[in-house]
Amino acid sequence: MFDADLIIVGAGPAGMAAAATAAGGGARVLLLDEQPEAGGQIYRNVGTSGESKPFLGKEYFAGRPLVDDLRATGITSEFSATVWRIEAGGRVVWSRDGASTVSTATHILLAGGAQERPTPFPGWTLPGVMPVGAAQILMKTAGLLPRNAVLAGSGPLLYLVAAQMIDAGMPPQALVETQTLAMMLRATRHLPRAISALPMLIKGLGLVRRVVAAGVPRYKGASGFEAVQTEDGSIAFSFQAKGREHCLVTPLLLTHQGIVPSTHISRACGVAHEWNTAQQALQPKTDPWGATNVSGIHIAGDGAGVGGAEAAQSAGRLAALDILHRLGRLSKAARDRSAASDRLARKRAMAIRPFLDAAYAPPPQILAPEGGTVVCRCEEVTAVEIRQALKAGANGPRQIKTATRAGMGPCQGRMCDLSVRGILASCGANPTAPRARTPIKPVKLGELAALAPHQETTS
Ligand SMILES: Cc1cc2nc3c(=O)[nH]c(=O)nc-3n(C[C@H](O)[C@H](O)[C@H](O)COP(=O)(O)OP(=O)(O)OC[C@H]3O[C@@H](n4cnc5c(N)ncnc54)[C@H](O)[C@@H]3O)c2cc1C
């Protein structure tokens, strides 16, 4: 007997929408998320945020109904529940408070979302330098606001957080942007397609307008990032822009170079992946319903390809409809009928991606760092060590891991994996080997031992 018909990993827009749809169709759903509350990245903490953080905007508070829908009959939600392994036979192993549990279901939906791309450059590991998404997490959870921060890099989230900081009365000291006019011009060829995502384009332009209206200095086409710590613990951030050297001193440097699908869990359970050249990242291969090559496993939301919250919700509902059909609870005709509006919504939301990918592509020196820049933060492995391992014959992420320990630390390679692949690609090696190993999140030996089957004692 299975514990549920469907286990959903991730309570972001995709997972929450899928849970409501599946439970509405009569399925027993177990929803697991490692965070203490539902919401995912965009709606993090929205259930308890009250009206105390108006600077997060009405789009943030629009996530409340999704969270409320989780109270529906048929949904069991477990929070602070970290999934670290998925096994054949629909077995999902998750950990909470140092103890692991195995839950089973006939179907599994992975809705683990995206992660920020690593942004390695000299000094990126110093205290006082952090990803912009991490700062936003502190804004959403603790209401902490960065003072006099410098935002550096590229991508829509950089402008969103800048606008939220402005609305909160703590505008950034400056925006240092790596995209160039040439990139923007090249991206315009994708604009005709992006027009069907007009509201998103308008929203993006609105964010930039707010930054401009607030008088935040912008440095465009910036390169050559380097951060050093000053005597008083601030960060001296130097870079080149428009042929000039600049140095800004800030208590907090927030970096960003876009987001990419979080694929460790899907790779670890044998799902086929492909290399997304536009994003320079791996993404799982799915059919239009999110079904994968592994029987019983669907993927929805940003984890299947970055598309934003609306696309994620639609993808979650589409996957749930397909799973209801496979469970025998929905005819094929009813599934297809119910899917029509979400298919269209998802297509529209995804239409803007080629434009965004081209306009905000990360610069080569961030994708494939060089010299003494730390790549693997856990094991302190530098770019030059990885390049030396390549010269010595390593030809894939696994050999590099064996030769240098890059990816062997507590984050299990979630941070450095893309940079290692970027270096491989820049050296003409194949960056696409998909395999990842469990546990995908750190787990204690005692926890593993407690899970082992009990030995029969014979006298
Ligand atoms: C740092 C960050 C901040 C972002 N902020 C915004 C924003 O403010 N506005 C916006 O429009 N877009 C934002 N995005 C983009 C955002 O990810 C998508 O728009 C949308 O949230 C995707 O929805 P999703 O359901 O696919 O995934 P997510 O919303 O990312 O939800 C995934 C959920 O899965 C859970 N999870 C992942 N792995 C495991 C595991 N192993 N075990 C248990 N639970 C797991 C996570 O805790 C998370 O709650 C952000 C992205 C990132 C990376």
Nearest CA to ligand 1 atom 7: 42
Can you give the pLDDT at residue 396? 86
Tens of pLDDT along 377-398? 999 999 999 999 999 999 888 8
**Thinking of the domain 4-115+260-330, which architecture would CATH place it in?**
3-Layer(bba) Sandwich (3.50)
Average pLDDT over residues 169-181: 96
CATH, domain 368-426, list 1.20.58, 1.10.10, 1.10.260, 3.40.50: 1.10.10
Can you give the pLDDT at residue 56? 80
- Residue 67 Cα, ligand 1 centroid: separation in angstroms? 14
Can you give the pLDDT at residue 109? 98
Distance CA(335)–CA(15), nearest Å, equals: 18
Nearest CA to ligand 1 atom 8: 42
Q: How far is CA 126 from CA 13, 118, 282, 378, 419, in A?
A: 33, 14, 28, 13, 18
Chain-centroid distance, C-alpha 356: 16
Can you give the pLDDT at residue 432? 83
Ligand 1 atom showing the smallest separation from residue 35 Cα: 47
Q: Assess whether pLDDT exceeds 80 at residue 330.
A: yes
- Residue 183 Cα, ligand 1 centroid: separation in angstroms? 27
Nearest CA to ligand 1 atom 6: 42
Of the two residues 102 and 452, the one the predictor is more confident about is 102
With helix as H, strand as E and coil as C, how does the chain read? Answer: CCCEEEEEECCCHHHHHHHHHHHHCCCCEEEECCCCCCCCCCCCCCCCCCCCCHHHHHHHHCCHHHHHHHHCCCEEEECCCEEEEEECCCEEEEEECCEEEEEEEEEEEECCCEEECCCCCCCCCCCCEEEHHHHHHHHHHHCCCCCCCEEEEECHHHHHHHHHHHHCCCCCCEEEECCCHHHHHHHHHHHHHHHHHHHHHHHHHHHHHHHHHCCCCEECCCEEEEEEECCCCCEEEEEEECCEEEEEEECCEEEEECEEECCHHHHHCCCCEEEECCCCEEEECCCCCCECCCCCEEECHHHHCCCCHHHHHHHHHHHHHHHHHHCCCCCHHHHHHHHHHHHHHHHHHHCCHHHHHHHCCCCHHHHCCCCCCEEECCCCEEHHHHHHHHHCCCCCHHHHHHHHCCCCCCCCCCCCHHHHHHHHHHCCCCCCCCCCCCCCCCCCHHHHHHHCCCCCCCC
- Residue 13 Cα, ligand 1 centroid: separation in angstroms? 8
Distance CA(51)–CA(438), nearest Å, equals: 40
Say which amino acid occupies 238.
Answer: S
Of the two residues 265 and 436, the one the predictor is more confident about is 265
Of the two residues 1 and 16, the one the predictor is more confident about is 16
Q: Assess whether pLDDT exceeds 80 at residue 349.
A: yes
- Cis before 439? omega within 30: yes
Average pLDDT over residues 431-445: 86
Pocket (CB within 6 angstroms of ligand 1): 9-15, 32-35, 40-42, 82-83, 111-116, 133, 136, 157, 160, 259, 265, 301-303, 308-309, 312, 441
- Residue 119 Cα, ligand 1 centroid: separation in angstroms? 19
- Residue 112 Cα, ligand 1 centroid: separation in angstroms? 7
Q: Assess whether pLDDT exceeds 80 at residue 333.
A: yes
Beta bridge partners, 255, equal 131, 152
Average pLDDT over residues 15-42: 96
Can you give the pLDDT at residue 294? 97
Average pLDDT over residues 59-88: 92
Chain-centroid distance, C-alpha 69: 24
Residue 254 · residue 174 · CB < 8 Å? no
Listed by start position, the domains of the chain span 4-115+260-330, 118-257, 368-426
Ligand 1 atom showing the smallest separation from residue 161 Cα: 8
Q: What are phi and psi of 332, to 5 degrees?
A: -60, -40
Residue 4 · residue 90 · CB < 8 Å? no
Ligand 1 atom showing the smallest separation from residue 10 Cα: 34
Distance CA(61)–CA(47), nearest Å, equals: 9
Nearest CA to ligand 1 atom 30: 113
Decide if 4-115+260-330 and 368-426 have a common fold.
no
**10 Å Cβ neighbour count for 58?**
7
Of the two residues 285 and 145, the one the predictor is more confident about is 285
> Whole-model pTM?
0.95
* N-to-C CA span, the chain: 33
**pLDDT band, very low/low/confident/very high, at 73 (cuts 50, 70, 90):** confident
Can you give the pLDDT at residue 454? 54
Tens of pLDDT along 354-372? 999 999 999 999 999 999 9
Q: Assess whether pLDDT exceeds 70 at residue 457.
A: no
Domain 118-257 top-level CATH class: alpha beta
Can you give the pLDDT at residue 327? 98
Say which amino acid occupies 129.
Answer: V
**pLDDT band, very low/low/confident/very high, at 25 (cuts 50, 70, 90):** very high
- Residue 311 Cα, ligand 1 centroid: separation in angstroms? 12
Which one of 42, 61, 84, 159 would you pick to mutate in the ligand 1 pocket, going by the greatest count of ligand atoms within 8 A of its CB? 42
Ligand 1 atom showing the smallest separation from residue 304 Cα: 26
| Percent of the chain surpassing pLDDT 90 | 80
Count Cα atoms within 13 angstroms, Cβ side, for 198: 3
Can you give the pLDDT at residue 60? 86
Ligand 1 atom showing the smallest separation from residue 441 Cα: 41
Pairing of strands 273-276, 281-284: antiparallel
- Residue 439 Cα, ligand 1 centroid: separation in angstroms? 20
List of residues 6+ apart from 18 with CB closer than 8 A? 6, 8, 109, 111, 300, 316, 317, 319, 320
Average pLDDT over residues 195-204: 90
- Residue 21 Cα, ligand 1 centroid: separation in angstroms? 19
- Mean pLDDT score across all residues of the chain: 93
Q: Assess whether pLDDT exceeds 50 at residue 459.
A: no
Can you give the pLDDT at residue 456? 52
Distance CA(209)–CA(203), nearest Å, equals: 10
Give the angle 237-242-244 at the CA atoms, nearest 5°.
Answer: 55
Q: How far is CA 306 from CA 60, 261, 276, in A?
A: 18, 6, 11
Can you give the pLDDT at residue 61? 85
Residue 37 · residue 45 · CB < 8 Å? yes
Q: If we measure between CA atoms, which residue out of 380, 379, 384, 390 comes closest to residue 424?
A: 390
